[in-house]
Homo-oligomer: A and B are copies of this chain.
Amino acid sequence: MTQPTRTRRPTLEDVARQSGVSKSTVSRVINGEPRVRAEVVDRVREVIAELGYVPNQAARQLVTHRTGAVAVVAAQPENRIFLDPFFDRHLRGIRRELARHGAQAVLLFLDEPGDYPRVAEYLGGGHVDGALLFPLRPDDRLPEMIDRIGLPTVFGGRPLLGDGDPVRGQAYVDGDNRGGARQAVRYLVSLGRTRIATVTGPYDQETSAADRVAGYQDVVPDTSAQLIERADYTQRGGADAMAALLDRCPGLDAVFVASDLMASGALQTLRERGRRVPQDVAVVGFDDLREIAESTEPPLTTVHQDVEEMGRLMARLLVDRTEHPDAPALSSVVVPTRLVLRKSA
């Protein structure tokens, strides 16, 4: 109909003029401030609709210092992150919580080296109110860059501090990896198992892996190093680790495997070697990835984490921070796990 000569987008001023009030009043209407006559509100709203007015965020930002957007930074190539069975759930929790606060989540990928300066500039340029970081490489320099910029930040998972200047007091949300591992191993003990082995993740690279080993050691502190085999969180790795364990300690009667994916591999090896699960060897996994845990043979007893809740908490921590910038330092949070009993132990 009205094909407005698309020359220039309407501004607050245009709306003000059209509705015969001041810019302030229009601003008040837009921001839903109470002290405006209902009549005027209606009039202004009409004009806004008629003109198709949309506030210019840059201008608004310039004075409010708020953008209404939060960056989620995935420091991995897309193809890796898309395979991460947890990332989508984290993201869902984040988006839900952010939405409750009217904030928009924007996802950034950090992959090639050339991405760093650009992402840092983006983050530092005031495009977002804060950042949620899934920094996965131990030596990542992004946290440091962000620190310089002074952008509120929350990590997904306890960050592994490099040997350099540790980024002090960074807030994070993590699952209770250590506690979960303890639950798992204690359960195995309660079953009367005495030779309990473990297949670990890459504990020098990921705190989750390190914490799970620590939890294991909390319960069976005097265990032989022979009973610990390190793998890489892959199925194949789990299978191989199990084989090595069996070679070294044929008498083992239980194994705590630090991820479900590795556990599915271990189960395979156990089957090939003719060990019955759980009769001969009891197996407990970690993660409770339903697609895996429910379809292994036998179904996997494993440690559950509420990943969506973790995402939600990350967002909440960040929002708290941005809304009360002067409040006491951020506290990190560790989300409890629970043991899900199936058939493998």
Contact = CB atoms under 8 A, between A and B. Distances in A.
B104 A107 contact: no
A108 interface: yes
Contact of A82 (B62, B88, B115): B88
A217 to B, nearest CB: 35
Nearest to A120: B54
* Total copies of this chain within the assembly: 2
A61 interface: yes
Nearest to A65: B58
A54 B125 contact: yes
Contact of A127 (B6, B67, B114): B67
13 contacts: A54-B121, A55-B125, A57-B126, A58-B61, A59-B62, A67-B127, A79-B88, A95-B111, A99-B118, A105-B108, A106-B107, A107-B109, A127-B127
Contacts of A126: 56-58
Given A78-B92, A91-B78, A54 B104 contact: no
Contacts of A125: 54-57
A227 to B, nearest CB: 36
Contact of A106 (B62, B106, B148): B106
Contacts of A142: none
A334 interface: no
A121 B57 CA distance: 9
A52 interface: yes
A262 to B, nearest CB: 21
Contacts of A107: 106-109
Given A52-B148, A57-B125, A59-B62, 7 more contacts: A55-B125, A58-B62, A69-B122, A91-B109, A99-B115, A104-B118, A106-B106
